[in-house]
Amino acid sequence: MQVVFLNTFERAGGEIAAAGEAQLSICEQNGVWSVIWTDSDSETQQAGDQQIWYEGGSWEEMMTAFRHGVAVQMGEGFLPLIDGMLDERRTVEGTGTLYSMIQCYGEQNGNEELFHALRDWRRAKAVAIKKSAYLVATNRMLWMISAFVPQQLEELLQIPGWGEAKQAAYGEEVLAITRLFQRDTHFPLDWVAGTLDPKTYTKWTYKQKENKLKAQMDRLSEKRELLRAIAEGKSIDELQEQVDLPRRDLMERIEKLETEGYDLEPLIERELAEMPDFEQQLVWDALQTLGDRYLKPVLHQVYGEDADQGKGKSLDMLYDRLRLIRLRFRRANGSREQVS
C-alpha cells in the first residue's frame, strides 16, 4: 500500500479533552483509496487505535470523507502540523467574520420561549401561504431573532439572512412577537465579535463544516446506491422504495445523473416501454414547440388543460414520462438546462 499523504495532528490538554497526537494518512493500492486516522500514545509515541474513514475507489468520496474527518477532529481540538486542508483558519482569524459570529452567538444564546413562539408563527404562516416552513425562515434565523430580540424594523434587518423581501412579507408580524419579550443586548450587533468566546466560535465553525461535509457524504452515498440500483434494472417505483426519497426529489436526482454524463437510456427505455410511440412523439413535438424548461405547458398541450387536476399515481406517472422524454430531448439537443 502506497502512502500518498501523511500529516500529524496534535491536541493540547484542556478541561474537556486530554492532550494527544495522531496521524492522518491517505493510501492507495490497486485503485482503492484508504483514509486512516491513527491515534498515538502520547508517552511512547507508538501507534494506537486506527479509524478507517474511507475505503473505496471513488476519489470524490475519498476526499469528502477526508475533509469531513478533519473537520470533526479539528472541532475536537486537534491541529495539523501542515495547515490549510480546510482553509478554516483563514475564515476563523480573518476579517469579515461578524456575519458568522452573529449566527454562532444566536445559536448559543437563544431564548427558547421566544424561539418556540416564532416557530409556531412560522408553522401557521407556512400553512397559510402554502410554502415550506424553511422558506419562511430557517431555524438558525429564528434562533438569532430570539437571541437579539429586535424591536424595530431596522434592527430586524441586521439579522443575517433577513433581507428586504422577508422584511416586507413578515417584518411586522415577527416584531409583534419579539416586542412581547425583553432583551439584554443592543443594536447594532458589532459588539458580538468582542463578546463571543474564541474557542466556542472556532468549535462552532468546524461543526458547520462537519455538517456540510456530512451532507455531501450522504449525497455521494445516495448517488452510488442509486446508480447501482439503476444498473440492476430496477424501476422508478423500486428506486423510490430503496432510496426513500419523495418522487420529485428522486426524479431530480435522476436528471442530475444525466447531466453528469451517466447513461440512463436503459432506465428510460424500461419506463417508457408501455407508452405508445405516437404519444411519445406528441411529447417530443410539444418540447420542440414550447421549450424544455417547464413541463406543465407540455402536459397541457399533450393531455389537455385538465390533466393536472388528477391526483395520485396517474399524474405522477405522466410527469415521470415527461421528465424521461425531456432527458432524451435535451441529450439530442445538447441541452443541460437545470430543472425549474
Q: Which among 96, 85, 95, 74 has a CA at the least distance from the CA of 199?
A: 74
In tens digits, the chain (340 residues) has pLDDT values of 788 999 999 987 765 567 789 999 999 998 899 999 998 754 544 556 889 999 998 888 899 999 999 989 988 888 888 776 665 444 444 434 899 999 999 999 999 999 999 999 999 999 999 888 999 999 999 999 999 999 999 999 999 999 999 999 999 999 999 999 999 999 999 999 999 999 899 889 999 999 999 998 998 988 999 999 999 999 999 999 888 888 888 999 999 999 888 999 999 999 999 999 999 999 999 999 999 999 999 999 999 988 877 655 588 889 999 999 999 999 998 865 444 4
CA dist., res. 10 & res. 79, Å (int): 5
CA dist., res. 210 & res. 191, Å (int): 27
Burial zone of 266 (CB within 10 Å; 0-12 exposed, 13-18 middle, 19+ buried): exposed
Report in angstroms the alpha-carbon separations of 269 from 230, 277, 334.
12, 12, 19
CA dist., res. 266 & res. 270, Å (int): 6
CA dist., res. 24 & res. 69, Å (int): 10
Q: Which among 263, 260, 267, 335 has a CA at the least distance from the CA of 60?
A: 260
Q: Give kind and range of the element (H or E) at residue 302.
A: helix 296-303
Residue 77 amino acid letter = G
Burial zone of 176 (CB within 10 Å; 0-12 exposed, 13-18 middle, 19+ buried): exposed
**CB distance 324 to 272 below 8 Å:** yes
Write a three-state SS string for 77-142: CCEECCCCCCCHHHHHHCCCCHHHHHHHHHHHHCCHHHHHHHHHHHHHHHHHHCCCHHHHCCHHHH
Which pTM does this prediction carry?
0.68
